[in-house]
Amino acid sequence: MTEPFTPPYPKPHRSKASLLKRFLTGWTSWIHTLFERSYTMKMGEIHLPKLDFYIANELSIVDTVMDDKEKVHPKHDFLKELLDPLIGNSVFSANGKDWENQREMVNPAFTHTNLKRVFPVMKEAVDDLVAHIRSLDLSRPVAIEPLMTHIAADIIFRTIFSVKLDGTGADRIYHAFHNFQKNVQPSAMLRIYGLPLLGYRRRANKAAAHVHAVFAPIVQTRFDAYHQRGEHGPSDILLSLLEARHPQTGEPFTFQQIIDQVSTIFLAGHETAASAMSWSLYLLAECPHLQTALDAEMDRETGNADISFDSLKGMEQLRNLFRETLRLYPPVSFFIRAVTRPTEMRGKHMKPGAMIVISPWLIQRNKDNFPCPHAFDPDRFKAPDQAEACRRAYMPFGKGPRICVGAGFAQQEAALVIGSIVRAFTLACVNNKKPHPVSKLTLRSKDGIFLTLTPREASSD
């Protein structure tokens, strides 16, 4: 039996950093501000010039905040400010009755993410990806993150708009979102320290506009055709949004409101999946024995045929690989909620306006929840002694009423993408090129993930 290995993560500070050090390290990554007790404490607190925030790791408090049965812990305005250039007032960022109304309006759109219905779309996009990888110069290391961004964006693009995303559009999205994160992170730090934004917000707005520019023309054409000429076009997510009506007023979404909703679905449907799939492939590259086991599992379940919707159901090792990746490298490492009334938790007196942070990164790496929490061990998801932790302390898709509605979509997509790549190629790490995670809006690698991919036919020969 091969011993689990510990993949890269930032070594925590011995003690809580000063405000200045926290400012400097948080400039590029939230998880680099953490110290040793962050991973074991029940609840921590940090008081910054413009914000008090509390990090809740105790599972009973996590449940209270995320379930929010009393509706006193909505999403914090700070998060809305960060994401406004990208998604505006959408179903992701709205709160209260506004969120309930928006959720009712967009719910029909998610019928188009039915797993069996969308599988052929995913399969076609994945086949295109494998063909594209085969066309690359595989004698050199391959940059994995742009490829995973392309396939995740292509799949959700086809699902929303019924059209394929070309390579140029995928590259624009990858670089624009990278620039958005690069600028919104310093903007966030400057804001919570009460300092001038130094143009970072303006540059983030510009990057967000570049993301919108990829799909805004499609939305505008379909919007005009629907409202001016009564043309419905393909039956897809965009059509559902065009047909949606406000439950009280009966009004349809405006063009800008549809852009906001599309941006939310697109962002949630590609960026987080791209992050998780990139880390999955890196972890597999570190584990040749697991690649062999997955290849055998796929052959057994498919009868050496193509991966099908039904055959995916039996691929437990593949599912557990992705689950363990999401435990170690949750794409969204922090969920942010607000305190809206005077509240006391674990003896801490929290005032309205304070922020409560629920961190999958910390909770899923807490030794009180998972043994050897920093080690890569997909088998933990079938271990009886870890079943309770997997149920209560595993939350990469969130928890409560606002849990990610696309969780099943993302897991099917990842299984198909990862399985197809492992079937076609042997993965290996590049010497001295270990990726190092940084956490901004999503969890990515600092300098990219580079692997060598060898076609399996060639490796067999």
Domains and CATH numbers, the chain: 19-460 (1.10.630.10)
Cα separations (Å) of 451 from 133, 147, 314, 430, 433?
A: 12, 12, 28, 6, 9
> Residue 3: its pLDDT value, please?
67
Q: What is the pTM of this model?
A: 0.93
pLDDT in tens, 366-383: 999 999 999 999 999 999
Instruction: Return d(Cα 95, Cα 89) in angstroms, integer.
Output: 9
Tokens representing 382 are 């079938």
323 three-class SS: helix
% of the chain with per-residue pLDDT over 90: 72
pLDDT in tens, 183-242: 988 888 888 888 888 899 899 999 999 999 989 999 999 999 999 999 998 999 999 999
Q: Which residues pair with 344 in a beta bridge?
A: 349
Instruction: Return d(Cα 221, Cα 251) in angstroms, integer.
Output: 20
- Average pLDDT for the chain: 92
Q: Which of 115, 7, 126 is nearest to 422 (CA)?
A: 126
Q: Please state the rounded mean pLDDT for residues 396-404.
A: 91
Strands 437-439 and 443-445: antiparallel
pLDDT in tens, 33-76: 999 999 999 999 988 888 898 999 999 999 999 999 999 999 99
Provide the pLDDT confidence category of residue 178 given band limits of 50, 70 and 90: confident
338 three-class SS: strand
In the predicted model, is pLDDT for residue 111 greater than 50? Answer: yes
> Residue 314: its pLDDT value, please?
94
Helix 316-328 with 255-285: angle, nearest 10 deg: 110
